[in-house]
Amino acid sequence: MLIRCVVALFLAVALARAVIVDRIAIVAGKKIIKDSDIASELRLTAFLNQEPFALTPDARKKAAKRLLEQGLIRDELEAGDYPKATFAETQDTLKALIKSRYRTEAAYKNALVVYGISEEDLKARLLWQLTVLRFIDARFRSAAFVTDEEIRQYYDSHKREFGSDITASRGKIEELLAGERTNKAFYDWLDRKREETAVRYLEDSLK
């Protein structure tokens, strides 16, 4: 009987600690963001950017903002018929990342351990990043029309960079200008979505 009481007490303490450690940090619409979500976001971002993992107030605030934005994008993806990245594309991206950064498989595995993430976590992040890129291209790229006059004006302002032949530079300039407009349209959309979403911060430091 005594053993059962001790076990029950241990479980109660463990559960209480879990609640404290993984408390809800933000409520955005019908979604919640927990402290563990923020920590995971920071670990994955640090790993991909090859930066030290830091759980500082400023880093947590930036991670919380990214998670809020990801939630808005997920809602849009679920509401619309947008193309999603495939498992095969994710595998190819992961292989390329490992090849470019690590001399051996052991070094790669060790890096995962150092940052406290699993390969499945990493694959999920890469799949998400590829899907977001597809979403941005499908949702905003079509409106990023660039005129001949705009290409000419940009070329005239950057002749040193592109040389004397505008024809040879046209494709690059058009791609650059279209990319800038696509990004602007995307971030403008995100700003509007944030304004439309009721966000409640349960930790003042994340505002």
Give yes or no: residues 90 and 158 share one domain: no
pLDDT for residue 41: 97
Residue-wise pLDDT tens digits, 142-157? 878 888 898 899 888 8
160 is in which domain, residue-wise? 144-198
Residue 206 lies in a domain: no
Same domain as 49, residue 122: yes
pLDDT tens-digit series, residues 17-51: 444 457 999 999 889 999 999 999 999 999 999 99
What domain count does the chain have?
2
Backbone angles phi, psi at 200, to 5 degrees: -120, 120
In a domain? residue 70: yes
Asked whether residue 34 is domain-assigned, the answer is: yes
Q: Which amino acid is at 176?
A: L
Q: Pick left, alpha or beta for residue 24 (phi over 0 → left; psi -120 to 50 → alpha; otherwise beta).
A: beta
One domain, residues 173 and 103: no
In this prediction the pTM is: 0.81
- Pair (126, 153) in one structural domain: no
Q: Angle at CA 205, nearest 5°, toward 192 and 70?
A: 40
- Mark which of 88, 110, 131 sits at the end of a domain: 131
Average pLDDT across the chain, whole number = 88
- Calculate the alpha carbon distances from 115 to 1, 52, 88 in Å: 42, 8, 25
117, 47 Cβ separation under 8 angstroms: yes
**pLDDT tens for residues 47-77?**
999 999 999 999 999 999 999 999 999 999 9
